[in-house]
């Protein structure tokens, strides 16, 4: 038996859990576990009302342990740690049990199996909690400086934002000039603003600020340290093979390295045929022509756009891009308006799958139709065929679903492949920062709604199109979100780290130095305890990996929060018979 | 209930998975968010780094009734230890040796690198391991 006083809260998650797990049965099964004083279910444990209830229970019933069984700890670990703290309970005496991602959602096909599993998971969580002790977080002073990687619109705006809050910025751009994709554009949607000028203005603002240091031809090559106190090495390429390494100390890192445009394969919708071009190529052509846009000396009159090239690909392809690239419907519709303006005699045909000119961009779509654009819809399993034909024209054949599958043939001067966004190849950056990459291979945030610019690497933030397709307004909005998140840490002056640390039981240790040999952080040294030589953990050096734990021949080392006793009691909890 | 049926069709092996907070756990979470299915007798516990797993825990788990133990390791991605994959393989081999000494099949321990988006590989590992353990039969034969 246990003399602990533990509260257990089991979440319905509005059905995300309770549709697949019998939550009430789970509660009944765990309420009499040793140490459990109160066991409740809640529609949403993360709601203010339930948090309040938890706080009240802790206070009124004098709880000394808390178990929340809901979603992945990636979402609400801090929510419930804070609730515990508010109630006066040490936050490290709380355990999060994941019964959503790792239970209800994986076993939507087996209600009994999922219910039994949830019971086992929670029992292990209770067993672990019984053996928790109050721990204090490690406090680290933060360095009031930031590294921003990527000098597109997102990175430039983030740099200015940080500088204005009073935080010094190192802004690094891989290419010889800042600006990213926007720096190459003339008229942009929705307001017709000139992209190049927009970037020039931002660069002026950067130059005005003494606390921004900009490096071009520069890349991040090394990172060590922790949130609040990173050491980074920036490699700046000079003329020829000359390379300079600059080291800097920063408190946080903002990644704004942008995207690449999808490059169609040879023969994909006729790519390779003269006159079949991508959207960026077409935009450049429009931007660079003063009068009527022409190709090979001939005015461009008949244009076919093929949408969703490189986006929303069929799942049976190799490494398909399943996502919608968001910006391209708007950009293509906008480009057609520019052409209509420059050549009112042009005929433009948009072969689309779905027109996603969301929000106010719908107005652009209406304008383009008023300006004479024709929209034809093709099915994903019946894409248009593109062939070369006589007289320098290109023949496009499509079955138009809007006219019940009528086959339409168009002879075009150019065919514009409306290409989507793809993740930029940035393997080295991913390696250096251990950046998490999502299913679509863009950088991944912790949670798209609740923590949209934070990553699982503490102190590293992402923004702009490196985390997924975004237009410029959306990129800047996320850049400013990253500024706020990052500055809120740096301005506070310190961060709290989990007290993840190894500890040595001096009674068991007889200083054989096996642990010293395996610690790459030199965090273990020889100490003395009652006249006996023992290993001692250096608090600031220890990273809490636990690598020394299994090598100790005397089983004298434990990782706090993951002790030998805790793991074994969790195993017992997992295995206890259920119903 | 489960796992006690003694090798007949009703036997669904209990598998303990050691995963890691930042690398394999997001991958396993992603399997759930994508509603991929693996047997519900797979139970996951997560640690900072797979190099911190004690071989004795693996033996303990098997002695107490887990039919198999899977180490979802960090591999090259580990933020703590550059040689994490080698360390964890060493731990897995030691655990297999411990099992052998106690008369358990060493095939009850498996390991594989599981990355933060390895939802499908993880699901497949669980299905395959579960099938392999069915052939071996329950760890508790009585
Ligand atoms: C043809 C076309 C037309 C468009 N038209 C419009 C429009 O009209 N309106 C609109 O709102 N949006 C438009 N967009 C979308 C717009 O381009 C993006 O929203 C915007 O560029 C995203 O900004 P970003 O800073 O995130 O990325 P990027 O513009 O891609 O900038 C990223 C920067 O990071 C640098 N970088 C990359 N890797 C590293 C590294 N490892 N270290 C350091 N630096 C690195 C790159 O060199 C680049 O300078 C258009 C896009 C295209 C392709």
Q: What is the pLDDT of residue B33?
A: 92
Find the residue in A nearest to B126 (Cα). Answer: A106
If residue A570 lies in a helix (H) or strand (E), which one and from where to where? helix A564-575
A469 CA: distance to closest CA in chain B (Å): 19
pLDDT at B22 over 90: no
CA distance linking residue A268 with residue A265, whole number of Å: 5
- Cα atoms found within 13 Å of the Cα of residue B111, Cβ hemisphere only: 27
Ligand 1 proximity of A473 Cβ (cutoff 6 Å): yes
Helix and strand numbers, DSSP H then E, in chain B? 4, 4
Q: Do B52 and A72 touch (CB under 8 A)?
A: no
Centre a 10 Å sphere on the Cβ of residue A47 and count the other Cβ atoms it contains. Answer: 13
Chain A residues touching B34 at Cβ < 8 A: 439
From chain A residues 454-513, the ones with a CB under 8 A of any chain B CB are 456-457, 500
Ligand 1 proximity of A326 Cβ (cutoff 6 Å): no
SS3 B78: coil
Q: How far is the CA of A417 from the centre of ligand 1 (A)?
A: 19
* pLDDT tens digits for range B80-100: 887 899 999 999 999 999 999
Q: State the count of interchain CB pairs (< 8 A) between A and B.
A: 143
Q: What is the pLDDT of residue A457?
A: 82
CA distance linking residue A305 with residue B21, whole number of Å: 46
Q: What is the pLDDT of residue B80?
A: 82
Phi-psi region of B7 (alpha: psi -120 to 50; beta: other; left: phi over 0): left
Q: Do A117 and B41 touch (CB under 8 A)?
A: yes
Beta strands in A99-151 (DSSP E): 138-141, 145-149
Helices A195-208 & A153-165 angle (0-180, nearest 10)? 30
User: Tell me, what DSSP letter sits at residue A292?
Assistant: S
Across residues B13-28, what is the average pLDDT?
94
Q: Do B40 and A98 touch (CB under 8 A)?
A: no
* pLDDT tens digits for range A531-552: 999 999 987 778 899 999 999 9
Q: Which residues are CB-contacts of A185 (< 8 A; sequence separation ≥ 6)?
A: A194, A195, A196, A283, A287
- Give strand pairing partners of A146: A169, A252
Q: Which residues are CB-contacts of A344 (< 8 A; sequence separation ≥ 6)?
A: none
Ligand 1 proximity of A153 Cβ (cutoff 6 Å): yes
pLDDT at B122 over 70: yes
If one residue of A172, A221, A257, A338 were mutated to test the ligand 1 pocket, choosing by the most ligand atoms within 8 A of its CB, it would be: A257
Ligand 1 proximity of A189 Cβ (cutoff 6 Å): yes
Residue written as token pair 């690909």: A313
Q: What is the ipTM of this complex?
A: 0.94
CA distance linking residue A110 with residue A142, whole number of Å: 48
- Decide yes or no: CATH 3.10.400 for domain B15-136: no
Q: What is the pLDDT of residue A390?
A: 85
CA distance linking residue B112 with residue B36, whole number of Å: 19
Q: Do B43 and A549 touch (CB under 8 A)?
A: no
CA A116 to mean position of chain CA atoms: 33
Find the residue in B nearest to A223 (Cα). Answer: B79
CA distance linking residue A263 with residue A286, whole number of Å: 20
pLDDT less than 70: residues of chain A:
1, 578-579
Find the residue in B nearest to A112 (Cα). Answer: B40
Q: What is the pTM of this model?
A: 0.79
Structural tokens at position A208: 């005005």
Chain B residues touching A545 at Cβ < 8 A: 48-49, 51-52, 80-81
User: Tell me, what DSSP letter sits at residue A315?
Assistant: T
DSSP letters, A10-72, are: EE-GGGTTTTTS-HHHHHHHHTTSTTEEEEEEES-TTSHHHHHHHHHHHHHTT-SEEEEEES-
Local confidence band at B3 (pLDDT 50, 70, 90 cut-offs): very low
Q: What is the pLDDT of residue A451?
A: 85
Instruction: Using CB atoms within 10 Å of the CB of residue A32, give its burial: 0 to 12 exposed, 13 to 18 middle, 19+ buried.
Output: exposed
Instruction: List the domain boundaries for chain B.
Output: 15-136
From chain A residues 305-364, the ones with a CB under 8 A of any chain B CB are none
pLDDT at B7 over 80: no
- Residue count of chain A, please give it: 579
Structural tokens at position A445: 């945030």
Beta strands in A134-237 (DSSP E): 138-141, 145-149, 168-172, 212-215, 218-226, 229-237
For residue A257, the ligand 1 atom closest to its alpha carbon is 34
For residue A469, the ligand 1 atom closest to its alpha carbon is 19
CA distance linking residue A428 with residue A434, whole number of Å: 10
Q: What is the pLDDT of residue B2?
A: 45
Chain A residues touching B79 at Cβ < 8 A: 434, 457
């Amino acid at each position: 038996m246990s003399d602990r006083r533990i509260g257990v809260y089991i979440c319905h998650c509005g059905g995300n859990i309770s549709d697949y797990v019998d939550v009430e049965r789970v509660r009944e099964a765990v309420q009499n576990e040793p140490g459990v004083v109160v066991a409740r279910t809640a529609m949403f444990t993360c709601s203010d009302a339930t948090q309040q209830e938890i706080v009240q229970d802790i206070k009124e019933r004098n709880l000394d342990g808390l178990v929340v069984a809901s979603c992945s700890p990636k979402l609400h670990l801090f929510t419930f740690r804070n609730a515990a703290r508010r109630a006066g309970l040490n936050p490290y005496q709380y355990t999060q049990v994941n019964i959503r991602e790792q239970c209800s959602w994986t076993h939507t096909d087996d209600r009994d199996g999922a219910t039994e599993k949830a019971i086992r998971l929670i029992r292990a969580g209770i067993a672990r909690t019984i053996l928790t002790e109050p721990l204090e977080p490690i406090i680290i002073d933060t360095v009031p400086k930031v590294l921003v990687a990527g000098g597109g619109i997102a990175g430039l705006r983030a740099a200015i934002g940080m500088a204005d809050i009073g935080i010094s910025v190192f802004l690094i751009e891989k290419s010889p000039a800042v600006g990213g994709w926007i720096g190459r554009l003339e008229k942009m949607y929705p307001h017709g603003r000139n992209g190049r000028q927009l970037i020039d203005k931002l660069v002026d603002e950067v130059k005005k600020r003494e606390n921004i240091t900009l490096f071009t031809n520069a890349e991040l090559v090394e990172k060590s340290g922790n949130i609040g106190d990173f050491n980074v090495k920036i490699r700046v390429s000079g003329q020829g093979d000359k390379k300079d390494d600059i080291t800097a100390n920063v408190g946080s890192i903002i990644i704004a390295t942008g995207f690449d445009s999808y490059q169609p394969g040879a023969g994909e919708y006729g790519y390779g045929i003269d006159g079949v071009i991508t959207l960026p190529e077409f935009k450049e052509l429009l931007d660079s022509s003063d009068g009527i846009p022409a190709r090979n000396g001939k005015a461009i009159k008949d244009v076919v756009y093929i949408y969703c090239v490189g986006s929303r690909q069929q799942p049976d392809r190799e490494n398909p891009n399943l996502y919608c690239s968001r910006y391209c419907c708007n950009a293509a519709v906008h480009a057609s308006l520019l052409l209509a303006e420059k050549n009112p005699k042009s005929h433009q045909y948009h072969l689309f799958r779905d027109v996603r000119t969301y929000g106010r961009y719908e107005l652009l779509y209406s304008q383009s139709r008023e300006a004479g654009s024709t929209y034809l819809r093709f099915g994903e399993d019946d894409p248009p065929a593109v062939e070369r034909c006589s007289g320098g024209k290109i023949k496009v054949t499509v079955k138009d679903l809007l006219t019940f599958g009528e086959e339409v043939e168009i002879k075009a001067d150019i065919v514009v492949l409306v290409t989507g966004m793809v993740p930029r190849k940035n393997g080295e950056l991913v390696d250096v920062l251990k950046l998490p990459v999502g299913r679509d291979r863009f950088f991944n945030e912790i949670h798209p709604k609740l923590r949209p610019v934070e990553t699982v690497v503490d102190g590293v933030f992402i923004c702009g199109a490196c985390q997924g397709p975004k237009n410029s307004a959306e990129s800047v909005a996320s850049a400013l979100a990253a500024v706020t998140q990052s500055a809120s840490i740096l301005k506070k002056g310190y961060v709290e780290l989990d007290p993840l640390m190894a500890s040595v039981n001096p009674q068991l240790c007889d200083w054989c130095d096996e642990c010293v040999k395996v610690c790459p952080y030199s965090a273990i040294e020889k100490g003395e305890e009652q006249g006996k030589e023992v290993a001692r953990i250096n608090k600031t050096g220890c990273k809490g990996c636990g690598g020394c734990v299994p090598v100790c021949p005397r089983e004298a080392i434990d990782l706090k929060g993951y002790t030998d006793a805790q793991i074994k009691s969790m195993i017992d909890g997992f295995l206890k018979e259920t119903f | 209930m489960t796992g006690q049926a003694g090798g007949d069709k009703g036997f669904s092996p209990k598998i303990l998975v050691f995963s890691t907070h930042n690398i394999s756990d997001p991958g396993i979470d992603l399997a759930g968010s994508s509603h991929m299915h693996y047997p519900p007798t797979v139970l996951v516990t997560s640690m900072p780094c797979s190099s911190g797993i004690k071989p004795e825990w693996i033996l303990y788990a098997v002695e107490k009734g887990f039919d198999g133990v899977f180490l979802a390791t960090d591999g090259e991605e580990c933020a703590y230890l550059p040689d994490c994959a080698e360390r964890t393989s060493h731990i897995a081999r030691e655990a297999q040796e411990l099992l052998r000494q106690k008369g358990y099949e060493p095939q009850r321990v498996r390991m594989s690198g599981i990355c933060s988006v390895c939802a499908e590989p993880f699901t497949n590992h669980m299905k395959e391991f579960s099938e392999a353990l069915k052939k071996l039969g329950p760890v508790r034969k009585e």
